[in-house]
A and B are shown apart, each in its own frame.
Chain A
């Protein structure tokens, strides 16, 4: 018993020491009250100086740390943005300057793939500002080489139906999953999640099989249809719709709203940020697709999207390669600029349980 008390006492002392709290003054209050203002100032001078110094050192360390943090953040940001930046800048070079600069790279890539590249005694220099800013690349790209435009069009024609279709279907399905929670539905939902987690390497095989059965192989439908029914959006949207407070839905019901009205006027508007964020994410993902066209449209090279085609640029076309790359990254970047807030909010809330 005594031991315990002793222990408690010691513990309290230790805590106070740790917090640097001093409860016992040597002098009592009357001592301070008896002093005049000046005396008091004099008495506390040392303490004041000390606390000032502490404050100053703290401030300095904080500034130093913030500065270091800023440096790191800036370095990382530069690293993140430099490749994009250069692609854009280089797209304003004349093709002569480009082949002068980067020709070495593509010669070594084109010529000696089997033997391994050879050293050509020259490395390209990264140039920030082109010698002469020119839009010739873009002109060439847009007017002289229809292949690129066709590929760009192919990309659009694949991505837009997939994104629109998948969003429409997943809104409906996730509303159902969010509102009707029975055991069998939860099992189905779980299987949707597993399906979502499957990498392309697994899902491409069934997609290929069914495309072959339906005789849509080597047509855009072979990519569009599985894309529309992909479960990625359902998984995230269901998470959101489950966050809608039940009170809203009950209130709407009391007011005599039908389920369809609840869906279109409560559930969808409340998930607006998520829907926009998902639209952006899906757009980027499918704008970026490489695996699906390679497998599902292997024999229809004309219909393949730009994402596959861009890497097949050969030495002769290097003059417009940068412009083509820039053109290809403009739609997603525009969409990003338009919906960045929603995207950030959407991503943020998707991680929260």
Chain B
């Protein structure tokens, strides 16, 4: 590492010059006392050289091999110069990497961070034009709004059902494919397909399946639940249908993540465990789970993000005013946008922002804890 630094320094023109100046020093006459103060500090080595040439040479020949420490070749710098050089170099680094970051940073600042501050401000105002400070009145207004409560309840319920199911089913599928099934990669590509298909394209076929006169009723699936035909998307079963659509879409992605994690588990450990008489269940829970822990969290977080996108399916299937249990937060936001009630909107967004940060924070915290358990 240090050698690299040295060579890099040597490449610099100004340093090379300094070296050239410095090299004659050892060959100078022993009267080095007359030298300027700056050089004195560094020339102590060369001075020693002249005083006891024979001894030094002996020592050198003995040590020879560990390449004469390049440190001695270092150009004559005072501490201040070194500091200055270091500062220049670190500033150059900083400037360059900041340069790489700038386009993104400016954009993010302009389109996300500053507007977020703006809506934080707006959320405490009477309206976007009337800047009177009204305290937490907007928040109260949002939190006591029936539509908001219903929407957040629906969204939360959906996420609470969808995320664990997505994790568990994908994990089971990955284990199945990983258990030496022939044609693993074919199944993997097929299961990835639903992710590729735009929601808008399959909405039509879902209508054919789930509408009141649809195929599901034609096949008599309603008999599983009730004894009359069910209008799937306009009944209490709507969340089930949406849950199915969510799993259908996200299964492949999650499964691929789990497959790769399973592939990374060292086989020796599993073999050793099975030799020790651990059965499949025990092997799974006490070995594989440890290796899968971080992937499970990653999948959970990705599923959580995707669970908020279920609005797409809901909107395309049922429009602006869906059945009560399908009324999602995004519906609420859309209606608020239509009414142009900015302060309410801002307060709503801020509440969601805080809730998300808390959820994500808890997830990260748990992950860090589990991780340290695994490693420790």
Task: Specify the chain B residue showing the minimal Cβ separation from A101.
Answer: B208
Task: Specify the chain A residue showing the minimal Cβ separation from B213.
Answer: A104
B202 within 8 A of A: yes
> Interface residue count for A (Cβ, 8 Å)?
111
Are A124 and B218 also in contact (CB < 8 A) when A87-B202, A288-B199, A328-B201 are? yes
Report yes or no: B330 in contact with A105, Cβ–Cβ below 8 A. no
Those of B214-267 within 8 Å (CB) of chain A: 214-215, 217-218, 229, 231, 234, 248, 251-253, 256-261, 263-264
Are A226 and B112 also in contact (CB < 8 A) when A73-B187, A205-B349, A288-B198 are? yes
In-complex Cβ contact of A19 among B96, B181, B277, B315 (8 A): B277
Interface residues of A (CB under 8 A from B): 18-19, 65-66, 69-70, 72-73, 76-77, 79-81, 83-84, 86-87, 90, 102, 104-106, 108-109, 113, 116-120, 122-126, 169-170, 172-173, 175-177, 179-180, 185, 188, 191-192, 194-195, 197-210, 225-226, 228-229, 231, 234, 250, 253-254, 256, 259, 263, 284, 287-288, 290-291, 294-295, 298, 306-311, 313, 321-322, 325-326, 328-329, 332-333, 335-336, 340, 343-344, 347-353
Report yes or no: A172 in contact with B104, Cβ–Cβ below 8 A. yes
Report yes or no: B231 in contact with A116, Cβ–Cβ below 8 A. yes
Report yes or no: B180 in contact with A66, Cβ–Cβ below 8 A. yes
Are A123 and B192 also in contact (CB < 8 A) when A256-B11, A348-B260 are? no
A275 to B97, CA, bound (A): 20
Those of B322-365 within 8 Å (CB) of chain A: 329-330, 333-334, 337-338, 342, 345-346, 348-349, 352-353, 356-357, 360
B196 within 8 A of A: yes
A114 to B30, CA, bound (A): 106
Are A173 and B203 also in contact (CB < 8 A) when A66-B180, A117-B211 are? no
In-complex Cβ contact of B181 among A69, A116, A207, A234 (8 A): A69
B191 within 8 A of A: yes
Task: Specify the chain B residue showing the minimal Cβ separation from A210.
Answer: B115
With most chain B CB atoms within 10 A of its CB, the pick from A203, A263, A326 is A203
Report yes or no: B215 in contact with A124, Cβ–Cβ below 8 A. yes
The 8 closest A-B pairs by CB, nearest first: A123-B218, A206-B115, A229-B107, A348-B260, A199-B308, A180-B97, A173-B104, A117-B212
**Minimal beta-carbon separation of A49 from chain B (angstroms):** 25
A332 to B115, CA, bound (A): 33
B195 within 8 A of A: yes
> Interface residue count for B (Cβ, 8 Å)?
112
B163 within 8 A of A: no
Report yes or no: A209 in contact with B119, Cβ–Cβ below 8 A. yes
B127 within 8 A of A: no
**Minimal beta-carbon separation of A102 from chain B (angstroms):** 6
In the assembled complex, which residues on chain A have CB atoms less than 8 Å from the CB atom of B189?
340
B161 within 8 A of A: no
Write 19 A-B pairs (CB below 8 A) sorted by A numbering.
A69-B176, A76-B251, A86-B205, A105-B208, A105-B214, A106-B207, A119-B213, A124-B215, A170-B104, A172-B100, A191-B113, A198-B353, A199-B309, A206-B111, A288-B312, A290-B199, A290-B311, A290-B312, A310-B203
In the assembled complex, which residues on chain B have CB atoms less than 8 Å from the CB atom of A349?
260
**Minimal beta-carbon separation of A20 from chain B (angstroms):** 8
Report yes or no: A173 in contact with B105, Cβ–Cβ below 8 A. yes
A322 to B177, CA, bound (A): 33
Those of B258-295 within 8 Å (CB) of chain A: 258-261, 263-264, 275-277, 294-295
Are A172 and B101 also in contact (CB < 8 A) when A225-B111, A295-B334, A311-B316 are? yes
In the assembled complex, which residues on chain A have CB atoms less than 8 Å from the CB atom of B11?
256
Report yes or no: B333 in contact with A295, Cβ–Cβ below 8 A. yes
Other 13 A-B pairs with CB < 8 A, given A108-B213, A209-B115: A73-B176, A105-B214, A117-B231, A123-B217, A172-B100, A177-B101, A197-B304, A231-B108, A313-B204, A332-B198, A340-B189, A344-B192, A351-B261
**Minimal beta-carbon separation of B257 from chain A (angstroms):** 4
In the assembled complex, which residues on chain B have CB atoms less than 8 Å from the CB atom of A70?
181-182
Task: Specify the chain A residue showing the minimal Cβ separation from B100.
Answer: A176
Are A180 and B94 also in contact (CB < 8 A) when A105-B211, A229-B107 are? yes
**Minimal beta-carbon separation of B77 from chain A (angstroms):** 22
By secondary structure, the B interface counts as: helix
In the assembled complex, which residues on chain B have CB atoms less than 8 Å from the CB atom of A229?
104, 107-108, 110-112
A128 to B208, CA, bound (A): 14
Report yes or no: B259 in contact with A348, Cβ–Cβ below 8 A. yes
In the assembled complex, which residues on chain B have CB atoms less than 8 Å from the CB atom of A109?
207, 211
With most chain B CB atoms within 10 A of its CB, the pick from A195, A207, A291, A332 is A291
B114 within 8 A of A: yes
Report yes or no: B198 in contact with A343, Cβ–Cβ below 8 A. no
In the assembled complex, which residues on chain B have CB atoms less than 8 Å from the CB atom of A207?
111-112, 115
A231 to B104, CA, bound (A): 8
A101 to B234, CA, bound (A): 22
